[in-house]
Structure 1
């Protein structure tokens, strides 16, 4: 019999950018306390994930929707911590740890997006190839993937250590590790284009993308050079005023949808209201939050995506402060969503739109 030390565990498993575990732990701890739940975070810097242990994790998960968590790329319902797995048989302990009477629509094999986790990629693939048929034989996994049912996530921390969790289709990222697989387009003027593409994919739902990004809409891109975000907007058919004293790539201008205005994007204002404003300028986050609020307060735009560059210390506290400043100074009801995206670094991305 395999010699392993497994235990049931009640909590949340959340993935994040390596190095931002303290920020995610702080966010989960504070948000849980505000919702009336006792619990504690287990986090180690550089690991790419945080556990939040709570006696009523089901209720806590409902109280903290994935879409509202800023530093969590993914939120899963943790139910087992299997340590000391025998490499000769990792599958039997996993089957034994599954809760009764649950049938999963998909198996997702994962490893943390960290220096320690990435070497687990090959083992995760091979173990998944062996575990899937075993789960189907036990009738706990559908014969074909069913996106309407819960997903079973197996997160390999090491060759003998795995976390088991479930993902709710309506309350989790649909991508493994919460990372959309986007490729750099050959025509993209800069890698920053991937940030806006990911923001539109993660922060807006499908219906919002169809409704809010339509041919002929008008937008401003503040601090546009060399034109990555402008390029993304034109691919959605928007007409863009690109504000920057620096140059734009010629093929962006050749689209016929772009007007390049050489001005300071931080102080420029439109002559008439626009549908969209986007901003990826390097500036103090509070100053950006205040300027973005001015755009909404003055009615210069209806929707916006902007980045807040975070300081090295107290990043969770600075995030809260800046989002509060933005919401207060906008002086109108807004729906505000913020995430640290995969293509973000020391920053978060914010989407704002009139509250419906």
Structure 2
């Protein structure tokens, strides 16, 4: 009789982030771990593109999931529970030790995410990943460990921190990004007037559920774009059939004007108000986050709009502290109106020194 496999235990939390944001991701991890009453320490290396929170004692991953919500991490592009590592992968045969380590976990998986840091060193492994990924996928399938027809199973992350070091992690689809490394494969629309359009496209895909997208981004709904010029964010809305009032002293691109769904007003975005409530207000104004956050909260709290997506341009230092300050400003306004609300914040792939937020009444 075969002995029962050793239960899979989580030994830490792995967060992939934009290189240079490791201190912010680390501060956030430590704060979340304290709130979840998890003991351990944060380990990060400058410009490595990832950070770890190592637990003092292993925890069953279901128990950890109940206490620690990976999906709420702001500076995480991708996150998972760390369940194992291989620190000396051979150069010629990486498949065998990886299969041995994955098999020893005693788990089956719904998907394989083969990932590296988003750094120059990580990108040098891209050619290897294209060749190796199908081999590992096939080996897992043949061993009965990969069941793509069972979405309820956890996903397997194989994170190559370096050519010789692999970290093994697990996550549910609801906890992390659907894209490996949290990098969406979005094409630049040919008629969009600026690359900023990809920020809103990623925000819609990453911050809203599919049901929310269908229900709130329907043709005929009204929207406002504060700081709209030249129209990258407006384009995302009019391309879905929404009618948009664009607020900016700058010009709007002809491709956006030609849709016939645009009203352009050259007025101050901080003082202008719509005559009637609208479904959406989006905002990518370049301004201090401590000015933007209260303005966004006021739009939603006062009923000018039902929901909003906006960016907060962060300072070079103490970015995590600034996000928490803005979160508190929003909460203060919503509490003053006794308004129940949902606020989701994420440092998206197409963001740089900013985070993107989704705010709506419940």
Shorter-normalised TM-score: what interval? over 0.9
Instruction: Name the counterpart of 1:319.
Output: 323
- Trace 1:296-315 onto structure 2 (pairs within 5 A): 296-315=300-319
- Trace 1:230-241 onto structure 2 (pairs within 5 A): 230-241=234-245
Structure 1 contact 57–77 (Cα < 8 Å) conserved: no
| Distance across 2 between alignment mates of 1:141 and 1:293 | 44
- Per-residue CA distance 1:249-280 (angstroms, 9 max, x = gap): 11211211110001111221112211111000
Structure 1 contact 240–257 (Cα < 8 Å) conserved: yes
- Trace 1:162-241 onto structure 2 (pairs within 5 A): 162-241=166-245
**2:52 counterpart of 1:51:** yes
Gaps of 5+ in 1: 1-7
Shift of residue 61, structure 1, vs aligned partner: 3.5
**2:138 counterpart of 1:133:** yes
Structure 2 residue corresponding to 1:350, chosen from 340, 343, 357:
357
Structure 1 contact 32–60 (Cα < 8 Å) conserved: no
TM-score (norm 1): 0.93
**2:339 counterpart of 1:329:** no
SS of alignment partner, residue 120 of structure 2: coil
Structure 2 residue corresponding to 1:284, chosen from 288, 291, 296:
288
- Per-residue CA distance 1:160-210 (angstroms, 9 max, x = gap): 111111221232211111122111011001111000011010000000011
* Structure 1 range deviating more: 85-94 or 228-237: 85-94
Shift of residue 145, structure 1, vs aligned partner: 6.0
Instruction: Name the counterpart of 2:154.
Output: 150
| Distance across 2 between alignment mates of 1:166 and 1:91 | 19
Instruction: Name the counterpart of 2:4.
Output: none
Structure 1 contact 9–53 (Cα < 8 Å) conserved: no
Distance 1:12 1:159, change over 3 A: same
Shift of residue 9, structure 1, vs aligned partner: 6.7
Distance 1:57 1:187, change over 3 A: farther
Instruction: Name the counterpart of 2:43.
Output: 42
Shift of residue 301, structure 1, vs aligned partner: 0.8
| Distance across 2 between alignment mates of 1:251 and 1:22 | 41
Shift of residue 147, structure 1, vs aligned partner: 3.7
| Distance across 1 between alignment mates of 2:191 and 2:83 | 45
- Per-residue CA distance 1:91-143 (angstroms, 9 max, x = gap): 2221222244311222221111112211111122222233233323333223x
- Trace 1:102-121 onto structure 2 (pairs within 5 A): 102-121=107-126
| Distance across 2 between alignment mates of 1:313 and 1:185 | 34
SS of alignment partner, residue 14 of structure 1: strand
- Trace 1:235-274 onto structure 2 (pairs within 5 A): 235-274=239-278
Structure 1 contact 154–163 (Cα < 8 Å) conserved: yes
| Distance across 1 between alignment mates of 2:359 and 2:177 | 20
* RMSD across aligned positions (CA): 1.7
Shift of residue 212, structure 1, vs aligned partner: 1.2
SS of alignment partner, residue 360 of structure 2: strand
Structure 1 contact 12–61 (Cα < 8 Å) conserved: no
Distance 1:116 1:57, change over 3 A: farther
Structure 1 contact 339–350 (Cα < 8 Å) conserved: yes
Structure 2 residue corresponding to 1:78, chosen from 78, 82, 89:
82
Alignment length (residue pairs): 347
- Per-residue CA distance 1:64-86 (angstroms, 9 max, x = gap): 32331111111112111211211
Shift of residue 88, structure 1, vs aligned partner: 2.4
TM-score (norm 2): 0.91
Shift of residue 345, structure 1, vs aligned partner: 0.5
Distance 1:95 1:291, change over 3 A: same
